[in-house]
Amino acid sequence: MLEACAITKCFGATRANDAVDLEISPGEILAIVGENGAGKSTLVKILCGLLKPDSGTLVVDGRPEAFHSVSQAVSVGIAAVHQHFALVPSLTGLENIWLAVGGNRRDLVQRAQKIINRLGLQVPLDQPIHQLPVPFQQQLEILRALVQNCKYLLLDEPTAALGSQDADAVRRLAGSLALSDHAVVLITHKLSDVLECAHRVVVMRQGRIVGNWPIHETNAAAISDAMIGEISIPSNHNCLPNCGRDVVLDVQNVSCSGSAGTAGLTDVSLQVHSGEILGVAGVSGNGQEPLAEVVTGLKSPESGKILFLDHDVTYHSPARRHRLGLAHVPADRRRYGAAGALPVYGNLCLRRYRESALSPKGWIRSRIWKQFATDLMKTVSADWPLDFQTRHLSGGNLQKLILARELDASPRLLVAVYPTRGLDVRAVSQTRRILLQSRRAGGSVLLISEDLRELLDLSDRIIAMSGGRIIGSVEPGQASAARLGQLLGGG
Amino acid sequence: MMDWPAMNMATAIWMAAVAYASPMMLAALGEVISERAGVMNLGLEGMIAVGALVGYGVSADHGSAWLGLAAGGGVGLLLGAVHAALAVWIGADQIVAGLGMSLAATGAAAFLGPMWITWRSQPAFISELSASRYKALLGFPPTTYLALALGLIAVSVLSGRRLGIAIRASGDSPEAAEALGVRVRAVRSSCVLVGGMLAGLSGAILSLAYAQTWTSTMPNGMGWIIIALVPLSGWRPGRVMLFCLLLAAVNALQIRFQIIGVKLSASILDMMPYVATLIAVIAGRIWPWRKGRWNEPSALGRPLEQ
């Protein structure tokens, strides 16, 4: 049995884990759920030896343990599979396992093969990791833990990056691991994971455990209430429909190729009307990012046409599109959203630094820039020090900065790609409020998201993408999670 | 003017090429090993220069060519240790550290050399093996066979051994490797040390076996050519040795042209190996094998982040 008693861990002023008690026995699947920032990942990192707790003890099979490294945790049988796999991409699966385990190569192959057969895994051992799809990489991580005789497996968001079929396979795998007397800890924010395969569920909020129930004594509503707590997340439902008839963005039969291993676009057509939030649903990697790139001008389509406010912008540069009124909140906000090395005020001015109001006669006047930045910050009620280096902003604050900059000149269309991904509840709520404000002011939003609840809450209309095509649309009023799930599952 | 009665021109060029290729191969293998572990060693030229000087000087002082070779390798190892300390442990910018090392070491060799080596110095050289019958096949200095043997070892270690896998993992995703229990800094430093030692040894072979003399301009750009050849060969030891042989052949041809008095400026002829390198680099960018199994260490030049 693995027991954690009164684990506490602080980062600065925030208590990521606050007196957390937990026990897991072999043969059990325990789901730990909670919103982003609830402290799930911190707890996993402590259990697997990546972080040291400030206080509290770990007891493994009756012996108290204090881990100084991951390999120490592995040696007593605890292994974690993180969201970002700890695999070396250029090596084969076998070489990755060998590197961790050592010993005789031939014996290792036999042991691995035995486990593969017993659990019905499909992962090939002789191919380099970078050629393997995500589910296989995940299987390989689990395999590596099993080869090292780990009894306690911590899976951090194992289904987050997977489609529904692969997610089912992971749940089945967790089931058969439990049958063979392993303990599986499933960290997740998907209720479907919990309800379909866990035996027990622990709910975390703000670093504390707020619920701990056997699965048959609880239900989805009770779990999500415990997860979210009191913070209300703004939704579109009580806003009046604001859609006009004018077409703001008209994408006509656009095709383009995708980048390494992900879908491009095949014959995609869509229209966004004024004052409308059009949601794009789908598992990421199914063409959403190329769609955003083609619309914002980061990528040229191979065929088809893009009309923005009746201008043909198919081959216009991103800057030219922005001058027409197109704004962009990119998926990778640290890489494409802001220049990390610039101070906050520099990033706030990036869209308009060329204008003579900001740079008279081509000279940079930091006083003018700072004034402009201060005004912009007020629009999102933020109060950062102007000279603060942007890379040190938290995800939520960075997203607010980008939103303030992008919505500055009341753009006609905002392309928002995964705008709340990785943000904590408060930041999610603020981001949504800003998006809805922009819509109320008459702007349109092309909202690309993986979070069905968010799409249902915000969108006026939803289209679903799969394999680079639009596979269906749901009109306002008829949208429900079930209908969307059917669409995305191909049903 | 020419007196090569027993040998035709092609054989002579071939032999000169192999002789020049062996020090080149050693330094190139060292660079491959160190880059595979994720550390670029731009100090190569300087390390070879110092190795050439120390090898020659020690051999002259003590009358033993083998002692000279060992001293060359030893001083290369020391310079490698300096580079490892800067690039691996302190996390200094590898390009700046390497360029600094190169400029400082070549300068030091050119400055100290004339004080140490005079016209009276009489070092022992490494001579060719006498196998008169198969001279074109077997009549090379023993150092050539050393280079070939090390090449084979490098190929087998990098492709099949656990050590090789640890080296590749350190150069590809140091953080993941560290999480798997590889001591990335130790692996990287050892590779830089080996690379430095091979560079120093290569310099000593250059002065004691190939040129059998020492000049203040000694490696004459060989180190830089090697740094260009390593990516071109896809960081593969076997292929890099092949490229070294090709470049050495161009060099031999160039020297031969100068000897027989081809009516071209000597400066133009001197350019030949460098132009060949440029052409090879361009060809490497557009050649189909770029698309195939390409081994570029993705963390090359980037220190371990923790």
**Residue whose structure tokens are 């914002």:** A296
Half-sphere exposure of A55 (CA within 13 A, CB side): 5
Residue in B with minimal Cα distance to A84: B176
Query: Minimal CA–CA distance to B39: which of B143, B194, B149?
Result: B194
Q: What is the mean pLDDT of residues B194-215?
A: 93
Does residue B287 carry a pLDDT above 70? Answer: no
Phi/psi of residue B221, each to 5°? Answer: 95, -5
One-letter amino acid for residue A440 of the chain: R
Q: How many CB atoms lie within 10 A of CB B199?
A: 38
Of residues B108, B121, B141, B146, the one with CA closest to residue B60: B121
pLDDT band at B133 (very low <50, low <70, confident <90, very high): low
Q: What is the pLDDT of residues A291-334, one digit of tens each?
A: 999 999 999 999 999 999 989 999 999 999 999 999 999 988 88
Chain B residues within an 8 Å CB radius of A100: 180-181
- Biggest CA–CA distance in chain B, Å, is 65
Residues of chain A with C-beta less than 8 angstroms from the C-beta of B174? none
Contact between chains at B166 and A99 (C-beta distance less than 8 A): yes
Task: Tell me the β-bridge partners of A162.
Answer: none
Which of A135-139, A250-254, A336-340 is most confident?
Answer: A250-254
How near does any CA of chain A get to the CA of B235, in Å?
13
The mean pLDDT value for A378-388 works out to 85
Q: Does A14 touch chain B (CB under 8 A)?
A: no
Angstrom distances, CA of residue A6 to CA of A21, A209, A226, A246, B269: 5, 11, 20, 59, 77
Q: Given B172, B179, B182, which is nearest A89 (Cβ)? A: B172
d(CA B128, CA A148): 54
**Which domains occur in chain A, in start order?**
2-228 (3.40.50.300), 247-325+409-488 (3.40.50.300)
Residue B2: is its pLDDT beyond 50? no
Taking the C-alpha atoms of residue B181 and residue A79, their distance in angstroms, rounded to an integer, is 13
pLDDT in tens, B246-270: 889 988 888 888 888 777 777 887 7
What amino acid is encoded at B201 in this protein? L
Which residue reads 């050393």 in tokens?
A: B146
Distance in angstroms (rounded) separating the CA atoms of residues B187 and B38: 10
**Average pLDDT of the residues of chain A:** 86
Specify the fold of B9-118+142-290: ABC transporter involved in vitamin B12 uptake, BtuC (1.10.3470)
Q: Given CB atoms, is B229 within the 8 Å cutoff of chain A?
A: no
Q: Read off the pLDDT of residues A225-258 as tens digits, 9 standing for 90 and up.
A: 777 665 556 666 555 565 667 899 999 999 998 7
Burial A75-112 (b: 16+ CB within 10 A, else e): ebbbbbbbeebbbbbbbbbbbbbbbbbeeeeeebeebb
Q: Is A89 in contact with B166 (Cβ distance < 8 A)?
A: no
pLDDT of residue A457: 85
ipTM over 0.90: no
Kindly list the strands in the beta sheet with A200-205, ordered across the sheet, starting from the edge strand earlier in the chain. Answer: A78-81, A152-156, A183-188, A29-33, A200-205, A208-214
**pLDDT tens digits for range A69-127:** 888 888 899 998 887 778 888 888 998 898 888 888 889 999 999 999 988 888 888 88
Candidates A85, A90, A94, partner chain B, best to mutate (most B CBs within 10 A): A90
| Chain-chain contact of A86 with B179 (C-beta, under 8 angstroms) | yes
CA distance A159 to A145: 18
Nearest to B168 among A85, A86, A91 (CB): A91
Residue B165 touches partner A, C-beta closer than 8 Å: yes
- Sort out which chain B residues have CB atoms less than 8 A from A87's CB and list them: 173, 176
Q: Which residue of A has its CA nearest to B158?
A: A91
Contact A38, A192 (CB under 8 A): no
Q: Which pair of structure tokens corresponds to residue A117?
A: 């057969």
Please give the residue that has the higher pLDDT: either B37 or B129.
B37
Residue B29 has a pLDDT of 95
Residues contacting A161, CB < 8 A, separation 6+? A83, A134, A284
List chain B residues with CB under 8 Å of A88.
168-169, 172-173, 176-177, 180
* Chain A, chain B: beta-carbon pairs less than 8 Å apart: 43
- In this structure, what are the phi and psi dihedrals at residue B185, rounded to the nearest 5 degrees? -65, -40
